[in-house]
Amino acid sequence: MAFGLFWGRAGAPLLLGRPGVWFGLLLGVLAYPFAQIWLHEELTRAVLDIVAENIGASAMRDQVALVGLVPAIVAGYADEFAKLVMLLVVGFVMARPSNPRAVTAAAIAPTAGYALFAAQLTLTNALHADLPAADLAFAFSREWAWISLQFGTAYMLARGWLAGRLTAYVLLAGVLHTAAAYTATLDDIGWHSAVVTLVLALVGLLAFSWGASLIPAGRR
């Protein structure tokens, strides 16, 4: 609800008349499956194999909360890396814009395709699983939180472009994304679904509001 209320004031300019924006939206949709397979699954598996070789599989089973940081960090920075690459590609298509509105749109367009495709896939699976009403409500709430987080971190990448400090803002976005991804481990160790959903919602809202505040000229 807070995300919806903030969007009218802090939401990214759509600039629907620009072909580069529509290209970015399509790019985000097409990039999602590849990012999940190559950047998430394969990289996470490789890192966990290295960890298992060094500390042992039994130790990993005993340290679920600590080991859960590995896939969270991989997921967080893999997504931000994918969004950064998409931002650079869309920026190139849009002839490397320097206008804050155009740069913000170049960051948000592929992120929208990426995040909305992910939400559609997750919610379709949840609906087909015939979950209880409460679990279905949690699933919808979590996807809104993820969309908020993805858009918020996209703002940070846009700010990094505008300020010439992409590395710093990618690192900042990755920290927030890692915190959100770690909620999957909270689920695994037995936290109540309502608490996990609340934590994810708070991180998502923080990312969105913080990211939007970095681009005050975005709606001018």
Q: What does the pLDDT read at residue 34?
A: 85
Burial (0-12, 13-18, 19+ Cβ within 10 Å), 143: buried
8 Å CB contact between 109 and 154: no
Phi/psi at 218 (5° precision): -60, -25
Confidence of residue 218 (pLDDT cuts 50, 70, 90): very low
Which long-range CB contacts under 8 A does 192-197 form with residues at least 24 apart? 193/134, 193/135, 193/138, 194/138, 197/138, 197/141, 197/142, 197/145
Across the chain, how many H-helices and E-strands are there? 11, 0
Tell me: the pLDDT tens digits for 108-154?
Answer: 889 989 998 998 888 888 888 877 888 889 999 999 999 999 999 99
Confidence of residue 200 (pLDDT cuts 50, 70, 90): very high
Tell me: the pLDDT tens digits for 58-71?
Answer: 777 778 888 889 88
Mean pLDDT of all residues belonging to the chain: 85
What does each C-alpha distance from 169 to 52, 65, 134, 157 come to in angstroms?
Answer: 31, 27, 36, 6
Cα separation, 128 vs 131, whole angstroms: 8
Tell me: the pLDDT tens digits for 151-176?
Answer: 999 999 999 998 989 999 999 999 99
